[in-house]
Amino acid sequence: MSSSIGRILTLTTFGESHGQALGGVVDGFPSGIEIDEDFIASEMARRRPGSTSLGTMRNEDDTPEILSGIFNGLSTGTPIGFVIWNKTQRSADYSEIAHKYRPGHADYTYDAKYGIRDYRGGGRSSGRETCCRVFAGALAKLFLRKYGISVNAGVIEAGGIKAEGYEWNPPFPGPLYAPQNKNLDAMINAIKEAKMETDSVGGIIECRVSGMIPGLGDPVFDKLDATLSHAVMSIGAVKGIEFGSGFAASRKRGSENNDPIRAEDGKPVFLSNNAGGILGGISNGDELVFRVALKPTASIAKEQLTVTDNMENTTIEVHGRHDPAIIPRAVPVVEAMTALTLADHLLFLRAYER
Amino acid sequence: MSSSIGRILTLTTFGESHGQALGGVVDGFPSGIEIDEDFIASEMARRRPGSTSLGTMRNEDDTPEILSGIFNGLSTGTPIGFVIWNKTQRSADYSEIAHKYRPGHADYTYDAKYGIRDYRGGGRSSGRETCCRVFAGALAKLFLRKYGISVNAGVIEAGGIKAEGYEWNPPFPGPLYAPQNKNLDAMINAIKEAKMETDSVGGIIECRVSGMIPGLGDPVFDKLDATLSHAVMSIGAVKGIEFGSGFAASRKRGSENNDPIRAEDGKPVFLSNNAGGILGGISNGDELVFRVALKPTASIAKEQLTVTDNMENTTIEVHGRHDPAIIPRAVPVVEAMTALTLADHLLFLRAYER
Amino acid sequence: MSSSIGRILTLTTFGESHGQALGGVVDGFPSGIEIDEDFIASEMARRRPGSTSLGTMRNEDDTPEILSGIFNGLSTGTPIGFVIWNKTQRSADYSEIAHKYRPGHADYTYDAKYGIRDYRGGGRSSGRETCCRVFAGALAKLFLRKYGISVNAGVIEAGGIKAEGYEWNPPFPGPLYAPQNKNLDAMINAIKEAKMETDSVGGIIECRVSGMIPGLGDPVFDKLDATLSHAVMSIGAVKGIEFGSGFAASRKRGSENNDPIRAEDGKPVFLSNNAGGILGGISNGDELVFRVALKPTASIAKEQLTVTDNMENTTIEVHGRHDPAIIPRAVPVVEAMTALTLADHLLFLRAYER
Amino acid sequence: MSSSIGRILTLTTFGESHGQALGGVVDGFPSGIEIDEDFIASEMARRRPGSTSLGTMRNEDDTPEILSGIFNGLSTGTPIGFVIWNKTQRSADYSEIAHKYRPGHADYTYDAKYGIRDYRGGGRSSGRETCCRVFAGALAKLFLRKYGISVNAGVIEAGGIKAEGYEWNPPFPGPLYAPQNKNLDAMINAIKEAKMETDSVGGIIECRVSGMIPGLGDPVFDKLDATLSHAVMSIGAVKGIEFGSGFAASRKRGSENNDPIRAEDGKPVFLSNNAGGILGGISNGDELVFRVALKPTASIAKEQLTVTDNMENTTIEVHGRHDPAIIPRAVPVVEAMTALTLADHLLFLRAYER
């Protein structure tokens, strides 16, 4: 069940990085939704290795093969099974990572937990599994679209350089998937520099949802911010998340942080959005806003101290075509997990509509 | 189901702030665990209003009445039902909040979602529901104790003042439940000042778990950091969470952020702990470390702009005995959610032990 | 989680027969439903010991105390917590059953599973836990009522005597809660005779749901008949369940068992109902029909062979005020589990309504 | 989520009868289990159309392609994804069933629920989905084998002819997968006769599990008989289930039906097994015994009354290569659902082992 997420709209995934295929099942998807394959392809393209000049040149085919649940171009309400083939498996030399634990990776913890590990390319813990998330997220977006709900994310900090003076007019173009801003070149250069030094950088992604409707989120344990945190924090490289004013809220007075309310056209309007669009775990109709911290890519070619699976001290250099920054390619993944979570809450809300 | 959390060790709660009672059911608790009622009482005491001189003088009795699942002082494996009575209900005047939406509160969103709202004292969205979490967390701690796992949290920032130069030697004393440090008085004063100005402040809580064992956490959606984020973010005032180096990781190079590994006594030792004790969503045996941002208390006596439930503009002053900072009393709540999550993962690990 | 049932409308229960109280939480109940306390009381009354002259004279107070989730007589959408006190605990002598395993009871299996057992009155395995089911079922019925869905059950066989020539015009009167029929007296006498001989009998309950709407039930694992079987089979004394023509279907030809369909007023009408109102796990709008086999009460005063918890051979006579037949009092319990299951499916259907 | 079953060992499936493929994900499967592909193939073979001379001559390839979760022949603890291709899709003429509702089938109910239906070969409601169950069940059996638990089923009634005087020495040979008995020829002939008359018959399958250990099953809603009923009743053609003495228990006295207990080698031995190996929803270590009623195949070539999806009266003859009796091929499916349920309970028991 840990390979499933969602309550009534669920995604279940399988697959190792260098196994035969990845894939999964989207269950609880409403019937009668037109499956826009071009849109799905465009979402997949944003996540694909090689999609951005800042990332790996690795060219993986990520085209999902839909095996069920669609008939005459419409969803039928039955589970949507899909497979993404690992077509370009190279008969790589795994001798380096087969018995050494890569720092910052899950090699040791998988061995500790399962006693066995598919070490080829990181196995199950590889970021490649996020292709399944993006596919399912694209479906969720097609459903949310019917309600006018639009999920967009962008890079607002890279390698320690913050985007400054930006406007939020998504979707944001590559290679960084960041809003236009004074520091955009510096942000890009921070990544390029790290790459040249065989090192890597992290960054921050902001996600905003427009067209929100009030009532999404279920107290007290499935608050909207709680389930979003669960969904987004399950992305490999994510190390932190904050909603609205977030960590800065902890430094504000209540009189500053509470969003004043005014009535407009018979609806409440919030004069600020420190809440990030959520009050008491339920959406208030305002824009949903949160930010996510991603660590630098763990795979670097620099020499690092580590141990073997026999617990002998050694060193390792992780060569290969790795992204110097995972942030650009994580943008569609953050969107996908957000869309899935919102669609699940929306279906719940429908069940209880008065 | 949104009132339940956990997968096999579950907590289900009910109750409104000023209703007859709160309570719940702890299910999946192992049999044969000695129920140390003194320990439970001491945990409850840390959360109780009036427990700290920094908080409300409101004196609520929080004693949980255990109704099932215990026999001769031992857990029997059957569900542990409990009730916490709202004994000191005052026949308060709710006219102010019955029809006005308090800024920073869930009043509007509950109305939008359910069409009806128990406005007395915040109803279901009141922080009072956390007493059930602390009770269940105390049980979880009794189970974790058998494995030598110890969960401790403390305030490391209050009203914008950071704790400086502290050592981690919990449990931390009141009134702030913060580690001894250079700025302790300043932190306390920040709260007192806000109180005098009928305002409120937020802060940051750090939580650390010692005695961790490797293998806790389930890929890919129930990663340990994902489920902890879910559990902790479901606490009302929490607006952000970060693990290990967290948001700071986003500003580090991979070569800095990866924790080097050395072998010691046949076990891996991590020379730093930027990972916060989690790799690939699975505990690595190192100390678990995360931090939580809490917003300032939303209830303040200052005048604020708001609307009525008829969507007319108005103002509100939220009088009553409110905490100028929720952070001290949130410390045991953060611990409780952490202990519940770890105990659930531990039972999973046991199921799959080789 | 095994103390919870349902997917989005859930019931979680706790409590031992002779502990302080039983109770639970109904979560996911829609807001705005009028809580008809008289109706709830009448449902509880049908299950109460002493409610029928055929049963035990034991007089237990089963009045549920509702602790949350209701405001001004309406459900608020928040969890409904309730407690049923064990007021009439007698300081019974448990020496006989504390260390002897009663045949037909769960005494041995609880010890084997948990290593500890609250032996007082059967503890958690006592039929007394069904009072929580009837309470929650009454709430579910209040919700189903809005859709014109009505759940009724009746005894159609007792002590081997089948009801003959009956019409289905529920609700059925006590003491047997059986439809009027040629053999009604014989059915009642079968129970009385067993009682005089310090023995017990079983029987069969039929349950029918009128006002069904098509579309309830979710393929492929949560088919309506699958979830109903789960819910109903979880009632202690139930040993079998069959839908529509049931076991008799296995002796029919396809040409006999398939229900022919005709169109009437733009809707399909089934000329027979061997399907019991379910096709492919989804309700077809026809009357839902199933039957349940209940074993004879396990507690009998006759001497029986058994063993002690030290695995020594011994004999036991289970004295006390036990029902010679559990069937009449099981009628409202079967209805309750059916109503809960249908309400859960109905909410699902609403979530996916086009 | 309705396409998933199990609590910690879960099976999620997808796929339509005549779509591109069926498949699914087995999650929570323990690591380190040797994957015996020959055994899996032999289980699949028993279910395959054309496997028995009594069934359809349709020859479908059911070979599951395992895509993940196995490394060097051992399970890794990560999800096992699999696909079963619909290789032999004929470009059939669906005009007859595209707009007519086949009696005894789910055509109408899918349309009523989803507003759209993949009518090719029954789509999602086709019995072909059970191939995924058998695959997953084979994995579960490999795990249960380690504990000496063995699941076997056989046909004990066909077309109204009961097996008489049989011994239980499984596995049972084809074509009927029934124990050797006086009426075996008559049972087989009943099927052949129905076939000649373009009709179909049903029957009864008995399932027994040897090597049971006490403690499987979780009160009060996830009793072993409750979860088994859920799992088995979710098989398309099943209309009834009974445990131990089952419906016959309802005609027995308590003194007859209670199984007397004797101590033997420090363990309880039950002198009869009316309980079917379950007391209070928990296994008692005795043989698990239940029986399942299957309706006659709904697809028959005889003319039947039905309606079109425009609600016009019409008739239909369902031609094609259909099984005159589903019972032989259902034998491995019943075993599979039983094995999956037991393996799930076994993992739970391990989590709580003292």
pLDDT at position C90: 60
Average pLDDT, chain D: 95
Of C32, C78, C348, the CB nearest to A351: C348
Given an 8 Å threshold on Cβ–Cβ distance, is A347 in contact with C350? no
Higher pLDDT pick, B8 / B87 = B8
Q: Is B3 annotated among the ligand-binding residues?
A: no
Please determine, for residue A256, whether its predicted confidence score (pLDDT) is greater than 90: yes
For range B39-43, the mean pLDDT: 96
Is D297 annotated to bind a ligand? Reply is yes
Is a pLDDT exceeding 80 seen at residue B293?
Answer: yes
Query: Across residues A82-101, what is the average pLDDT?
Result: 82
The ipTM estimated for the assembled molecules is 0.97
**pLDDT grade for D274, boundaries at 50, 70 and 90:** very high
Q: How confident is the model at residue B322 (pLDDT cuts 50, 70, 90)?
A: confident
A221 and C CB contact within 8 Å: no
- The chain D residue lying nearest B30, using CA atoms, is D352
Q: Give which of C7, C118, C161, C220 to mutate to test D binding, by max D Cβ within 10 Å.
A: C220
Name chain D contacts of C311, Cβ cutoff 8 Å.
263, 266-268
Q: What is the pLDDT of residue B59?
A: 62
Question: Closest chain C residue to A344 measured between Cα atoms?
Answer: C351
pLDDT in tens, D40-60: 999 999 998 766 677 766 666
How much of chain C, in percent, has pLDDT values that exceed 70?
Answer: 96
pLDDT tens sequence across A292-337: 999 999 999 999 999 999 999 999 999 987 899 999 999 999 999 9
Can you list the alpha helix ranges (DSSP code H) found in D167-280? 184-196, 224-233, 246-249, 254-257
Are C31 and A78 in contact (CB < 8 Å)? no
Q: What is the mean pLDDT of chain B?
A: 95
Quick one: which of B41, B332, B327 has its CA closest to B171? Answer: B332
Percent of chain D with pLDDT over 70: 96
Q: For B350, which residue in chain D has the nearest alpha carbon?
A: D351
- pLDDT, residue D57, reads 60
Whether residue A351 lies within 8 A of chain B, CB to CB, comes out as no
- pLDDT number for residue A77: 98
User: Strand, helix or coil at A142?
Assistant: helix
pTM: 0.97
Of the candidates C1, C25, C27, the beta carbon closest to that of B28 is on C1
Point out the residue among A202, A250, A271 whose CB comes nearest to the CB of B294.
A250
> Taking CB atoms and an 8 Å cutoff, what residues of chain A touch B251?
157, 159-160, 202
Residues of chain C found within 8 Å of residue D285, distances taken between Cβ atoms = 112
Q: Which of A31, A32, A350 sits opposite C350 (nearest CB)?
A: A350
Asked which of B168-172, C170-174, C223-227, D59-63 is least confident by mean pLDDT, the reply is: D59-63
How much is the pLDDT for B320? 84
Residues of chain C with Cβ-Cβ distance to B123 below 8 Å are 71, 76, 78
CB-CB neighbors (< 8 A) of B98 in chain C: none
Percent pLDDT > 90 in chain B is 90
**How would residue D94 be classed by pLDDT, with cut points 50, 70 and 90?**
confident
Question: Is residue C94 very low, low, confident or very high in pLDDT (cuts 50, 70, 90)?
Answer: confident
Section B196-218 average pLDDT: 98
Window 147-186 of C: residues touching A by CB (8 A cutoff) are none
Q: What is the pLDDT of residue D58?
A: 64
Stretch D99-121: mean pLDDT: 95
Residue to mutate among A250, A284, A286, A297, with most B CBs inside 10 A, is: A250
Task: Chain A: give the shortest CA distance to residue B72, in Å.
Answer: 32
Q: What is the pLDDT of residue D354?
A: 79
CA distance A135 to A334: 12
Mean pLDDT in residue range B216-238: 98
Residues of C whose CB is below 8 A from D250: 157, 160, 202-204, 239-240, 293-296
pLDDT at A258 over 80: yes
Partnered with residue C289 across adjacent β-strands are C208
CA distance C103 to chain B (A): 21
Residue of A14, A18, A22, A66 for testing the chain D interface, max D β-carbons within 10 Å: A14
Per-residue pLDDT at D265: 95
* Mean of the per-residue pLDDT values of chain A: 95
Instruction: Taking residues A18-30, report their average pLDDT.
Output: 97
Inter-chain touch D117–A68, beta carbons under 8 Å: no
* More confident site: D317 or D354: D317
Examine the pLDDT at B149 and tell me if it is beyond 80: yes
Which pLDDT band, with edges at 50, 70 and 90, does D1 fall under?
confident
Average pLDDT of the residues in D144-164: 98
Does pLDDT of B204 surpass 90? yes
Q: Which of A276, C137, A227, A282 is nearest to B114 (CA)?
A: A282
- Three-state secondary-structure class, residue D230: helix
What does the alpha-carbon distance between residue D192 and residue D172 come to, in Å, rounded to a whole number?
Answer: 19
- Look at C352 and A30 and tell me if their CB atoms are within 8 Å: yes
3-state secondary structure of B152: strand
Q: Is C299 annotated as a binding residue?
A: yes
Chains interfacing with D (3 or more CB pairs < 8 Å): A, B, C
State how far residue B92 is from chain A, nearest Cα, in angstroms: 23
Report whether pLDDT(A51) > 90.
no
What is the tens place of the pLDDT at every residue in C284-311?
A: 999 999 999 999 999 999 999 999 999 9
Q: Which residues of B touch D8 (CB under 8 A)?
A: 7-8, 348, 351
- Among residues B116, A192, D350, B72, the alpha carbon closest in space to that of C16 is found at B72
Question: What's the whole-number mean pLDDT along residues D280-293?
Answer: 98
Per CB-CB distance under 8 Å, the chain A contacts of B234 are 220-223, 226, 281
Spatial separation of the C-alpha atoms in residues B240 and C257, rounded to whole Å: 60
- C126 among annotated binding-site residues: yes
Q: Give every CB contact of residue C227 below 8 A, 6+ residues apart in sequence.
A: C217, C341, C344, C345, D230
Q: Which residues of A229-259 are buried (b: 16+ CB within 10 A; e: fewer)?
A: bbbbbbbbbbbbbbbbbbbbbbbbbbbebbb
Contact C71 B23 (CB under 8 A): no
Q: Decide if C68 contacts C78 (C-beta within 8 A).
A: yes
Q: Which chains form contacts with chain A, at 3 or more CB pairs under 8 Å?
A: B, C, D
Q: Would the annotation count D295 as a binding residue?
A: yes
AA identity, residue B198: T
How is A213-268 classified by DSSP, letter by letter? -TT--BTTTB-HHHHHHHHHHTSTTEEEEEETTHHHHTTSBHHHHSPPEEEETTEE
pLDDT of C262 above 90: yes
Those of residues 54-93 in D touching chain B at CB distance below 8 A are 77-78
DSSP states of A33-66: -B--HHHHHHHHHHHSTTSSTTS---------EE
pLDDT digits (tens, 9 = 90+) for A96-106: 789 999 999 99
Which residues fall within 8 angstroms of residue D248, CB to CB, at 6 or more apart? none
- Residues belonging to the binding site of A for NADP(+) are 47
User: Is the model's pLDDT at A54 over the cut of 90?
Assistant: no
Start-end of H helices in chain B: 37-47, 95-98, 107-114, 130-145, 184-196, 224-233, 246-249, 254-257, 327-351
- Which residues on chain D are in Cβ contact (under 8 Å) with C105? 279-280
Per CB-CB distance under 8 Å, the chain B contacts of D77 are 352
Of D226, D259, D261, the CB nearest to C233: D226
With beta carbons under 8 A apart, name residues in chain D contacting C306.
260-261
Out of D8, D78, D219, the one facing B351 most closely (by C-beta) is D8
Answer yes or no: do A4 and D27 touch at CB < 8 A: yes
- Does the beta carbon of A347 lie under 8 angstroms from any beta carbon of chain B? no
Between B6, B7, B76, which is nearest C116 by CB? B76
Please report the residues numbered 101 through 120 in chain B whose beta carbons come closer than 8 angstroms to any beta carbon of chain A.
Answer: 101, 103-106, 108-110, 112-113, 115
Q: What share of chain B is helix, strand, coil (3-state, %, to 5)?
A: 30, 25, 45
Chain C to chain D, count of Cβ pairs less than 8 Å apart? 370
Task: State the nearest Cα–Cα gap between A354 and chain C, in angstroms.
Answer: 8
Does pLDDT of D90 surpass 70?
no
The answer to whether the CB of B142 falls within 8 A of the CB of B336 is no
Tens of pLDDT along A143-190? 999 999 999 999 999 999 999 999 999 999 999 999 999 999 999 999
Helix, coil or strand: residue C186? helix
- pLDDT (average), residues C35-48: 95
Q: Is C124 one of the annotated binding-site residues?
A: yes
Quick: pLDDT tens for B245-271.
999 999 999 999 999 999 999 999 999
B148: left (phi over 0), alpha (psi -120 to 50) or beta: left
φ, ψ at A340 (rounded to 5°): -60, -45
Tens of pLDDT along C173-217?
999 999 999 999 999 999 999 999 999 999 999 999 999 999 999
CA nearest to A200, candidates A321, A98, A110: A321
- Best probe of the D interface among B12, B80, B348, B352, by most D CBs < 10 A, is B352
Query: A45-54, A281-290, C166-175, D137-146: which range is least confident on average?
Result: A45-54
Mean residue pLDDT across chain C: 95
Percentage above 90 pLDDT, chain A: 90
